[in-house]
Amino acid sequence: MRFQSPINQSTPIAHQMALPREVDIVVVGGGIAGLSTALPLVEQGLSVLVCEKGRVGGEQSSRNWGWVRQTGRDEDEYPIMVESLRLWNEMAARTGENCLAFQEQGVFYVSENQAAEEKYERAVAVAKANGVHSKVLGSSEIQQRVPAAKKNWVVGLSTPSDGRVEPWYAVPAISRAVVRAGGVVIENCAVRSIESSSGQVSEVVTELGSVLTNRVLLAGGAWSSLLAKTVGLSLPQLSVQATVARFDSAVQLYDGNIKDDGLAVCKRPDGGYNMALTDYQKHYIGPASFQYLRPFAKAIKTSIKDTRFSMASAGFPDAWRFGSNDDQQSPFEQTRILDPMVDKTLIERMKQRLAERFATEDSVTVTHAWSGMIDTMPDFVPVLDECPSVTGLFLATGFSGHGFGIGPGAGQVMSELLQGKAPGHDLNRFRFSRFTDSSPLKLGPL
């Protein structure tokens, strides 16, 4: 078994371009959010630099399930997600990258608990309000759809228009499209600090030199909060670890994407499957954990039974005590790619749960496993906003484990904000000031 993500430190550098002296916009982070913002900007003729400290898509953007999911979305995210699904469907033609072809397999939630029906019915109502067809299914319909099922799933929620894109192909493909459209993408180019003058962004300092700009998008995933401190911004974001395993099966399990209260399984284009636990995450306790304990109190109470805790290892984002010194190597250079170690006991737990749910006939062979760190906000929805205290600093971070699917939609929204245009969606829920204006936080779905 190989314990490594498909994009890792040994992946060859694909983007080594000259550092420009000045650009319209600097995007910090070569993940799905940053690149999905950069693409429409360069298509509209703006000069854009994407700085990636390690490899494009090297962290959570390539380590997720690849789901493009409207099913069970937060109601305020839903309109953006609908737009994102449209953009995913157009992405292959838009970029000329066949690996971006959207696989419309649907997403299927199932439960052994009849009480889940009420939650599913609410999700159907939210979907209907956004013009999306979702449906609640009973046990007989579930058995027809999943003949290999062994579990007694009594109720399900299905959204046929949902699907999947292979993340470790998708994110590098979007980066290539950004370059072809005229953007600059540089890997191994960590941003050490964001500088401002009189409350206005003025430049970014990278390990390769400084770049003048008056607009910066901070889309650094698990690293966003740490970098925000260089401009005096306290961004209440923490990280949790999740693990995915890749396996082959001689038995057809389910031709799509399915999850219950303990396990998620999805079919890959190569005929194999991915699986992940749906009731397990791990938080590594560091200085940031204590700094943001108060805003996260409600979230901790909600998710405590599914969360394990450990002391943060050196190099993890929440563990750093970091002061800005542009002449010294930064944490972002010391940890090029955040690559947490896989807990092998979790793989055994996944295999056990898979056998409990499907008639696998001992045909399962786990070939790969990897972990990633998920950037999480206190209310489980992202920040999509301009920083109120620093003009020209924009934030797209804290997607809380469901950022890949919504990435193109969020990127379109941020591209409009960066150009001073009115976005086509209500972004009040995603404003940064919700953490400072004493308004009660509304928790999104986990």
Instruction: Report the predicted TM-score, pTM, of the whole model to 2 decimal places.
Output: 0.96
Burial letters for 103-137: b for 16+ Cβ neighbours within 10 Å, e otherwise? Answer: bebbbbbbbeeeebbebbeebbebbeeeebebebb
Question: How does the average pLDDT of the chain come out, rounded?
Answer: 95
- By CB atoms closer than 10 A (0-12, 13-18, 19+), residue 440 is exposed
Q: Specify the range with the lowest mean pLDDT, choosing from 8-12, 31-35, 263-267, 413-417.
A: 8-12
- Phi, psi of 66, deg, nearest 5: 85, 10
409 in any annotated domain: yes
The CATH code of the domain that includes 76 is 3.50.50.60
Sign of CA dihedral 432, 436, 440, 444: positive
12 in any annotated domain: no
191 in any annotated domain: yes
Question: What is the tens place of the pLDDT at every residue in 176-191?
Answer: 999 999 999 999 999 9
Instruction: Identify the domain boundary among 115, 132, 160.
Output: 160
Question: What is the tens place of the pLDDT at every residue in 365-380?
Answer: 999 999 999 999 999 9
- Same domain, yes or no: 78 and 145: no
Instruction: Identify the domain boundary among 124, 141, 160.
Output: 160
Question: What is the tens place of the pLDDT at every residue in 43-74?
Answer: 999 999 999 999 999 999 999 999 999 999 99
The pair of three-digit structure tokens given for residue 158, joined into one six-digit string? 């299905």
Instruction: Check residue 321 and give its pLDDT.
Output: 66
CB-CB contact of 69 with 84 (8 Å)? no
16 in any annotated domain: no
pLDDT at 392 over 90: yes
Instruction: Check residue 325 and give its pLDDT.
Output: 64
The total of structural domains in the chain comes to: 2
The whole domain housing 150 covers: 107-160
11 in any annotated domain: no
Question: What is the tens place of the pLDDT at every residue in 304-318?
Answer: 999 999 998 777 887
Instruction: Check residue 322 and give its pLDDT.
Output: 62
- Same domain, yes or no: 272 and 357: yes
- Same domain, yes or no: 91 and 178: yes
388 in any annotated domain: yes
